[in-house]
Every structure is written in structure tokens, then in C-alpha cells.
Amino acid sequence: MHPRQPIPPEVLRLAGAQENVVSREQCLGLGLTRSVINRLLGQNTWSALEPGLYYTLGGEAPWISWAWAAVLAGGDQGLLCRRSAAHLWGIHPEACEPIQVLIPEETRITDRSRWEFIRSRHPPKAHGSPPRTPLADTVLDLCAIQPDRTATWISQALHTRRTTESGIAKALAQRQRQPHRRLIEAILQQHSEGVHSELERIFRRDVERAHGLPTGRRQIRDEYYCTDVEYLGTLIIELDGRLGHEGLGRFRDMARDNHHLVHGRPTMRYGWPDVTEQPCEVARQIAAVLLRLGWAGPLLSCPRCRRMPDVVNHAA
């Protein structure tokens, strides 16, 4: 009786680097024989995800292992794209299926129940592990698929600090065709001006500009904190979406506000309901403080304003 062939350490290392997934070609190239592969499958030590693709821990494979298997099935230039790449970049919360893989146009392969293969004449250079489209390209793909979430995709990508406005703009310039190009360019321009969220965009449009408030300085950093909007070098406006402002985040907000007040810089905080449902009242409150700080005014009336108390424009 011949002793059983052990699994070469090179195969084990490769499987570890690929979320415990290997292909038949990889195994044979590293010295594992077909008979050993069949034995491992027969003993349920390994399990077959698809013909020629194996999960080396046996049992049910997690999403990330299926993603690696999809990349291997796509060939040497296969890479995750769209929602699948977005999930790995941290800007899409769900590990969606089918898993989407970008492949060269000439590659011949059919979709599977858990995989969708998308062809491209000029696929970008792969990033990360498992290989995926660069974050900037991933964002542009998502904007093309869900244009109503363009601002959200761009904001979330920039929040990761793994790409920049210029990085996305460069990827956009390299594309001959991109749906909603002008919208993307406008949002990138707003980000470069310090408007980083949908709430901040609405504030600038419906509160600041609609009522003639002075143009605030945005994303001002000091030694400790970054502020959303600053007026007259003194008054700070913080715009609080839910993310980062609940639980322990509220205590961080309190510490920030106290720090600024000690240094003579009061803070006014507004949330989504304030800015979207009562922008005129928000503008009146900010104007009242600015007038006391020396702003010459005047506070303007927008079409939504029902009344504009004269006392605001003459507040000391």
C-alpha cells in the first residue's frame, strides 16, 4: 500500500491567501495529483463550489470564498466589480448576489446561479484581495447603475479616504461614456468646496444661499477637530446626520462643542429634520447670532418663508 500523499504546503499557503479556495489548475501546478484531489472531495475534506473550484475547509463556504471562486472562474484578468467590489471597499453594506465579475470582452464563460460575468474592452487594473476594480471606478459604475444615489456613492467613497475627488475625476476623464457625467462633476466640485454630504448640500442651498447668509468656510480643521461650517471666524455650525452622532458619538460632539465654546466659538447644531423641513427657521436663528457678531445682513426672504420678523434684521 502506497502512503497517502500529503497536501503540499504551497497549496495550503495559496488557499489561505484566497479565502480557502483553490482551482484544479492551481493544485496540479503545485504538485497535487488528481487522485488526491478526488480523495479530498470524497472524504468531504474539501467541497466543490463549481467544477474545478474547491473550498478547502469543507462544508458551506462564506460569501468571500464564493467571491474568490468567481474571480478564479473569470480567468487571469477577472476582478470583482460593481456591488461586489463596493462591498469589499466598504461602501455597500450587503454582500449581494449574484457576485459580479468583470472579465475581458473576449473571455468565454457563462453566468452561474451565484455569479454574473460582465465584459469590458478595457478592464482597469485590479486592486486588493480578492482582485476588484479600483474604488474610483467602482463608484462610477454604481453611479451609472443607480444615478439617484450618485451623491451617496461619492460621499461614502471619499469618507473611506481610499480615494479623492481628483482620483474619481481622473477615472471619469478616462471614460468616453459615463451616464450622468455632469451630475458627477457637479458633486465632485461641491466636495472640493467642502460640501461633503447630502445634508450639507441642502443646508448650503436652502439655508445659506436662499436666505443671503454669508458664505461659510467649510471643513475647517484645528489641532483637535474639523468643523462643518464656520461663519465670521467665530460661529460654528455642525450638521448632524445619524452616522457618527449616536451613542458615544454624542459625547464626542459634547466635548467638541465645549472645547470650541471655551475658545470663544459657540456651536449651533442642526439635523436632517431641521434643515429639510424648517430651513427658514434655521436661517433666522443663524442670522440672529451673526447680526450680534457684527454681520451687516440683511437676511433675505426665500419663496418658502411665510414671514420675516423685522427684529431679526435689526438684532443687536
Note the pLDDT tens digit of each residue in 161-217.
899 999 999 999 999 999 999 999 988 988 877 777 788 888 999 999 999 999 998
Distance CA 154, CA 163 (A): 10
* Cell reading at 281: 427657521
Give all domains of the chain, ordered by start, each with its CATH number: 1-61 (1.10.10), 135-192 (no CATH), 198-313 (3.40.960)
The DSSP call for residue 30 is: T
- Residue at grid coordinates 433675505: 300
Q: What is the pTM of this model?
A: 0.71
Task: Describe the strand order of the beta sheet including 235-240 as a list of residue ranges.
Answer: 217-221, 226-231, 235-240, 267-271
The b/e string for 65-85 (b: 16+ C-beta within 10 A; e otherwise) is bbbbbbbbbbeeebbbbbbbb
Please tell me the distance from the alpha carbon of residue 225 to that of residue 162, in angstroms, as a whole number.
21
Q: What is the pLDDT of residue 313?
A: 46
Q: Which regions of 121-191 does DSSP assign to beta strands (E)?
A: none
Answer yes or no: are the C-beta atoms of 285 and 268 closer than 8 Å: yes
**Cα–Cα distance for residue pair 107/115, rounded to 1 Å:** 15
Q: Residues 37, 5: contact at Cβ < 8 Å?
A: no
Residue whose grid cell is 411665510: 306
pLDDT value for 246:
47
| Per-residue pLDDT tens digits of the chain, which is 316 residues long | 345 678 999 999 999 999 999 999 999 999 999 999 999 999 999 999 999 999 999 889 999 999 999 999 999 999 999 999 999 999 998 898 999 999 999 888 888 889 999 999 888 999 999 999 999 999 999 999 999 899 889 989 988 989 999 999 999 999 999 999 999 998 898 887 777 778 888 899 999 999 999 999 888 777 778 888 999 999 999 998 654 444 444 546 788 787 778 877 899 999 989 999 999 999 999 999 999 999 998 999 998 886 555 434 444 4
Grid coordinates 450680534 are at which residue? 292
Query: What is the structure's pLDDT at 243?
Result: 45
Closest listed residue to residue 154, CA positions, set 96, 95, 164? 164
Element containing residue 189 per DSSP (H, E) = helix 181-192
- Compute CA distances 203 → 17, 96, 126, 275, whole Å: 46, 33, 38, 6
pLDDT at 174: 94
pLDDT of 268: 92
In total, the chain counts a number of residues equal to 316
Nearest to 70 by CA among 32, 46, 48, 99: 99
The set of cell numbers assigned to 106 is 473576449
Phi, psi at 191, each rounded to 5°: -65, -40
pLDDT of 250 reads 55
Alpha-carbon distance 149 to 171, whole Å?
A: 18
Bridge partners (DSSP) of residue 118 are 102
pLDDT of res. 265:
86
